[in-house]
Amino acid sequence: MSVMKICMLGGTGFVGRSIASKLAAHGHEVRVLTRRHERNRDMLVLPTLTLAEGDVSELGFLREHFQNIDVVINLIGILNSSGKNNFQRIHVDLVNKLTEAMQQAGVRRLLHMSALNASKEAPSKYLRTKAEAEDQLHQVSVTADFAVTSFRPSVIFGPNDSFINRFAKLLRMAPKVLPLACPNARFQPVYVEDVAACFVNAIHHYDTFGQRYSLCGPKPYTLFELVTYIADLIDARCRIVRLSDWQSRLQAGVMQWLPGKPFTLDNYNSMKVDSVCDSKFPEVFDVTPQPLEAIAPAYLREPQDQLDLFRRLARR
């Protein structure tokens, strides 16, 4: 595999870090654009990685950093919209700038992160703007002469994920009862290293040019099943109570006003569509997706949980 010059947007996040590590391991030169150089200095341990601080919404900044770049990877996405940081600006306007800058700098390859169920008819703005961005990229790529591949994962898990870890935290904090919104929502979690492998394998693979891939792990779960599994793993004692649809909506309506917006009406709406795949993991990437059960125990249990489990097993 020849060495490539790759520029990543959103490369400092949960998924971006896995992709960046794999790219560096293959010897590729990786430039990561970030709003916060200092906060992400730890990434500089990767020998072929550099960080560039700036505003990705500025065309000039993108154009400057796309010079002599073979591949752009766009991972920027938000789950909650507020003020300037809104879905339209971060998902749609950004890809317009991105394609303009790519054309000006002559970049011919783009890997883009979308989301499963992204559709212009989706019930949530998160999914609608993801779809708008994805469709625009694929349309523009035809006339602008660059090859795009889009990835549409279900929820992604791994040591620093925000989904599984968040429920583990809530279960540890909940005194006796955890009221669970949207308990029947369905997900098919996919391992972050498998997603990262798809990105890396797609770079040179001509069959993936112009394609969109849904990425799911091997097994679907309801949210209730997932949270119950997490509770068993960390030996949480609280009872998980399934909220009805109107109670879930009410919880979202209230929680979206809390600091950090832990759960919003848009999140609630996005869970109305099952986040599961109707076909197998795309064979083109030569990846066998890992089940949650093979990975989560190692990162979810705190040292004390691990010790307790060891004691319980020893007593048997």
Residue ranges binding ligand NAP (CB under 6 A): 10, 12-16, 34-36, 40, 56, 75-78, 85, 90, 113, 115, 153, 155-156, 163
HEC string for the chain: CCCCEEEEECCCCHHHHHHHHHHHHCCCEEEEEECCCHHHHHHHHCCCEEEEECCCCCHHHHHHHCCCCCEEEECCCCCCCECCECHHHHHHHHHHHHHHHHHHHCCCEEEEECCCCCCCCCCCHHHHHHHHHHHHHHHHHHHHCCEEEEEEECCEECCCCCCHHHHHHHHHHCCCEEEECCCCCEECCEEHHHHHHHHHHHCCCHHHCCCEEEECCCCCEEHHHHHHHHHHHHCCCCEEEECCHHHHHHHHHHHCCCCCCCCCHHHHHHCCCCECCCCCCCHHHCCCCCCHHHHHHHHHCCHHHHHHHHHHHHHC
- Least distance in Å: CB of 56 to ligand NAP? 5
- Least distance in Å: CB of 105 to ligand NAP? 19
Nearer to ligand NAP, 13 or 183 (CB): 13
Nearer to ligand NAP, 189 or 241 (CB): 189
- Least distance in Å: CB of 237 to ligand NAP? 27
Nearer to ligand NAP, 1 or 294 (CB): 294
- Least distance in Å: CB of 138 to ligand NAP? 16
Nearer to ligand NAP, 183 or 189 (CB): 189
- Least distance in Å: CB of 247 to ligand NAP? 25
Nearer to ligand NAP, 77 or 183 (CB): 77
